């Protein structure tokens, strides 16, 4: 299909400009309107990117990028377009502080660009290592592993079960529950190389959901009515005369774990062969990935070292990665406490997030950067639009318009932490470096938060020059609750471009 270029289709910007930020005119909106006025000349509604390219959709059939189904990921196409537009040559160094499944990392590696990345989720490292080793696997060893794995037979008497935490209790049918543990013991005791064991772990991670009674569904992990958890809950509900949970099925067949993993292994084997026969000589970029929080990784990086940034932080949309990816986290060895801690370490994007300010202050103190901490926080507190949004949400909370009061703390934490990320990226970038950030605007309690413009205003406060704000032609709707109470307001999905 022919790619449309930007200039072929100039779209009328007007329907993408927000006129009313506060439903019913309840709260002040001057500061947000001022941002709208200031940045609208940079707004470019585009068909260069679309809903599919800013999501995982396009990666589903893409060799290598399909190795880990990360619904929160963006596509290789998006990264390629941005790298071209940013004119990043081989040999340069790019950062993605929210690396996720490693889309930016892989595309950079294929183009000979070096990538520094970090992500808080333990499975991110497994995915990135597995993919970035694509040219290094010993194919004969991989074939042997597939054969041995496919013919494994679990003894009838094997009784160990894969561990669970409260939110994953009874996630698998009994056979899968035992087989997952059997296979975990088997691969640990085997003599396969570490690279191959890591690739195997990725294939297991990619299979867990379809072998379970759960399904990732936006914000939630949906449960199948055939699971012991739902059956038990319904017995209790019946006793109490409450409405039963619906007879919902995540999928017709809960797959056999051995069959699913074997399929994943064969899929990666085919991809490895394909990538090897098509890899360009540029496939040489280095990937330097650290597991951990960007909030603590960035302050330690040296000044003026990056040539660019392509990233997408978690959106300010209440998605709790630790719940959505609970099966994968438990498989990676996380217990209840680890998951709770991980939830708090996420950039504040859930209603349970608590403020990280005192932790950050202590951290900057420890690395002898308390002046920097004070400078960044000072800028955050002086941002008029941010202050206006927090006051408006407080007002909405007081009149009962927020369906969860944790939203206010989440929004405050989210943008404060993001501002720290932007400030540090400014320091770490070389002069001339370009930054691309993918994010969605949001609306809570009838108040629109222009994430794209607010982020741009923080970036500008730290010294970045705003270059362009791409907005997808297709905007985002609102939750049914918001629509019912406050009417419909389309929200921008944007890619903001800044330059040092």
Ligand X SMILES: C[S@@+](CC[C@H](N)C(=O)[O-])C[C@H]1O[C@@H](n2cnc3c(N)ncnc32)[C@H](O)[C@@H]1O
Residue 25 belongs to what H/E stretch? none
DSSP annotation of 97 = T
Region near ligand X per CB under 6 A, out of 241-249, 308-316, 422-430, 445-453? 308-316
Q: Which is nearer to ligand X, 27 or 438 (CB)?
A: 438
- Give residue 24's region: left, alpha or beta (phi > 0; psi -120 to 50): left
If the CB atoms of residues 233 and 345 are measured against ligand X, the closer one turns out to be 345
Nearer to ligand X, 32 or 65 (CB): 65
Q: Which is nearer to ligand X, 35 or 380 (CB)?
A: 380
Sheet holding 465-472, edge to edge: 43-46, 465-472, 493-499, 429-440, 306-311, 93-96, 114-119, 287-291
Measuring CA to CA, how many Å separate 369 from each of 26, 360, 439? 41, 11, 29
- Can residue 334 be called a binding residue for ligand X (CB under 6 A)? no
* Using rule CB under 6 A, residue 347 touches ligand X: yes
Min. distance of Cβ 32 from ligand X in angstroms?
24
Are the CB atoms for 117 and 288 separated by under 8 Å?
yes
For residue 222, report the phi and psi dihedrals to the nearest 5 degrees: -85, 145
Site stretch for ligand X (CB under 6 A), options 21-29, 96-104, 145-153, 227-235: 96-104
Cα separation, 431 vs 453, in Å, equals 22
Among 101, 109, 132, 322, binds ligand X (CB under 6 A): 101
CB 265 within 8 A of CB 146: yes
Binding span for ligand X by CB under 6 A among 10-18, 98-106, 396-404, 445-453: 98-106
Q: Which stretch binds ligand X (CB under 6 A): 72-80, 131-139, 215-223, 428-436?
A: 72-80
Q: Is 346 in the site for ligand X (CB under 6 A)?
A: yes
Does 120 bind ligand X (CB under 6 A)? Our answer is yes
Q: How far apart are CA 78 and CA 176, in angstroms?
A: 37
Name the residue nearer to ligand X (CB basis): 82 or 265: 82
The 10 Å CB-count burial string (b at 16+, else e) for 94-120 is bbbbbbbbbbbbbbbbbbbbbbbbbbb
Alpha-carbon distance of 171 to 272, in angstroms, equals 32
Smaller CB separation from ligand X, 345 or 351: 345
* C-alpha to C-alpha distance for 251 and 122, rounded to whole angstroms: 27
Alpha carbons 79 and 246: distance in angstroms, whole number: 41
Using CB under 6 A, which of the segments 226-234, 312-320, 398-406, 444-452 binds ligand X? 312-320
CB nearer ligand X, residue 397 or residue 476 = 476
Residue 216's Cβ-side half-sphere holds a number of Cα atoms within 13 Å equal to 20
Q: Whose CB is nearest to ligand X?
A: 100
Would you say 31 or 130 has its CB closer to ligand X? Answer: 130
Q: Given the complex with ligand X, which of 118 and 180 has the nearer CB atom?
A: 118
Q: Which is nearer to ligand X, 120 or 376 (CB)?
A: 120
Shorter beta-carbon distance to ligand X: residue 175 or 319: 319
State how far the alpha carbon of 315 is from the alpha carbons of 78, 95, 437, in Å: 17, 18, 11
Question: Is the separation of the CB atoms in 464 and 426 below 8 Å?
Answer: yes
Q: Which stretch binds ligand X (CB under 6 A): 9-17, 43-51, 227-235, 287-295?
A: 287-295
73 is an interface residue for ligand X by CB under 6 A: yes
Least Cβ distance, residue 380 to ligand X (angstroms): 16
Residues 103, 114, 383, 478: which binds ligand X (CB under 6 A)?
103
Helix (H, G, I), strand (E, B) or coil at 64: coil
Q: Is 376 a residue that touches ligand X (CB under 6 A)?
A: no
Kindly indicate which of the ranges 117-125, 186-194, 277-285, 441-449 contains the residues binding ligand X, using the contact rule CB under 6 A. 117-125
* Residues binding ligand X: number (CB under 6 A): 23
Q: Tell me the C-alpha distance between 440 and 186, whole Å.
A: 43
Q: Tally DSSP H helices, then E strands, for the chain.
A: 19, 12
Radius of gyration, alpha carbons of the chain:
24
420 forms part of the interface with ligand X (CB under 6 A): no
118 is an interface residue for ligand X by CB under 6 A: yes
Q: Of 464, 448, 470, which Cα lies nearest the Cα of 499?
A: 464
- Residue 310's φ and ψ, nearest 5 degrees, are -130, 120
Residue 348 backbone dihedrals phi, psi, to 5 degrees: -55, 95
Q: Residue 119 Cβ, how far from ligand X at the closest point, in Å?
A: 4
- Please list the alpha-helical segments (H only) found in 88-219: 103-110, 122-132, 139-150, 174-189, 194-208
Q: Does 464 bind ligand X (CB under 6 A)?
A: no
Residue 294 in contact with ligand X, rule: CB under 6 A = yes
Task: Determine, following the binding rule CB under 6 A, whether residue 415 of this chain makes contact with ligand X.
Answer: no
293 binds ligand X per the rule CB under 6 A: yes
Regarding 295 and contact with ligand X (CB under 6 A), the answer is yes
Phi, psi of 164 (to 5 degrees): -145, 160
**Residue 68 corresponds to which tokens in the numbers above?**
């880990």
Does position 106 bind ligand X by CB under 6 A?
A: no
With CB under 6 A as the contact rule, the residue among 29, 77, 119, 307 that binds ligand X is 119
Q: Is 308 in the site for ligand X (CB under 6 A)?
A: no
| Footprint of ligand X (CB under 6 A) | 70, 72-74, 98, 100-101, 103, 118-121, 124, 293-295, 312-314, 321, 345-347
């Amino acid at each position: 299909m022919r790619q449309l270029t930007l200039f072929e289709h100039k779209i009328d910007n007007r329907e993408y400009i927000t006129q009313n930020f506060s439903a019913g005119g309840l709260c002040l909106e001057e500061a947000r309107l001022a941002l709208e006025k200031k940045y609208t000349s940079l707004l470019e509604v585009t068909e260069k990117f679309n809903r599919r390219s800013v999501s995982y959709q396009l990666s589903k059939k893409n060799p290598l990028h399909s190795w880990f189904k990360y619904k929160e990921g963006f596509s290789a196409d998006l990264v390629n377009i941005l790298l071209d537009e940013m004119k990043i040559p081989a040999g340069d160094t790019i950062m993605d502080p929210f690396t996720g499944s490693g889309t930016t990392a892989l595309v950079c590696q294929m183009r000979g660009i070096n990538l520094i990345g970090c992500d808080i989720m333990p499975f991110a490292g497994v995915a990135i290592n597995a993919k970035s080793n694509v040219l290094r696997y010993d194919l004969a060893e991989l074939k042997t592993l597939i054969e041995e794995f496919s013919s494994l037979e679990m003894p009838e008497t094997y009784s160990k079960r894969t561990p669970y935490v409260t939110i994953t209790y009874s996630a698998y049918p009994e056979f899968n529950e035992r087989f997952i543990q059997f296979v975990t013991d088997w691969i640990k005791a085997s003599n396969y190389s570490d690279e191959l064991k890591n690739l195997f772990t990725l294939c297991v991670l990619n299979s867990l959901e379809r072998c379970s009674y759960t399904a990732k569904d936006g914000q939630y992990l949906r449960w199948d009515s055939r699971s012991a958890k739902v059956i038990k809950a319904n017995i209790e509900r019946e006793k109490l005369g409450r409405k039963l949970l619906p007879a919902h099925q995540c999928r017709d067949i809960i797959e056999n774990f051995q069959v699913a993993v074997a399929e994943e292994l064969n899929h990666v084997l085919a991809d490895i062969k394909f990538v090897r026969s098509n890899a360009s000589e540029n496939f040489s970029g280095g990937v330097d990935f650290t597991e951990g929080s960007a909030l603590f990784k960035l302050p330690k990086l040296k000044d003026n070292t990056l040539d660019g940034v392509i990233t997408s932080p978690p959106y300010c949309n209440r998605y709790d990665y630790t719940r959505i990816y609970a099966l994968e986290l438990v498989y990676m060895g996380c217990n209840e406490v680890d998951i709770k801690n991980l939830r708090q370490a996420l950039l504040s994007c859930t209603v349970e997030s608590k403020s990280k300010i005192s932790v950050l202050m202590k951290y900057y103190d420890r690395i002898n950067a308390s002046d920097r901490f004070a400078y960044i926080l000072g800028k955050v507190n002086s941002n008029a639009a941010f202050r206006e949004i927090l006051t408006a949400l407080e007002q909405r909370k007081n009149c009962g318009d927020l369906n969860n009061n944790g939203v206010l703390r989440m929004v405050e934490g989210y943008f404060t932490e993001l501002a720290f990320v932007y400030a540090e990226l400014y320091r770490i970038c070389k002069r001339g470096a370009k930054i691309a950030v993918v994010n969605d605007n949001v609306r809570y309690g009838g108040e629109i938060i222009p994430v794209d413009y607010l982020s741009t205003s923080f970036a500008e406060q730290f010294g970045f020059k705003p270059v362009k704000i791409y907005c997808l032609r297709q905007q985002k709707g609102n939750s049914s609750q918001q629509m019912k109470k406050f009417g419909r307001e389309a929200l921008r999905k944007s890619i903001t471009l800044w330059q040092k």
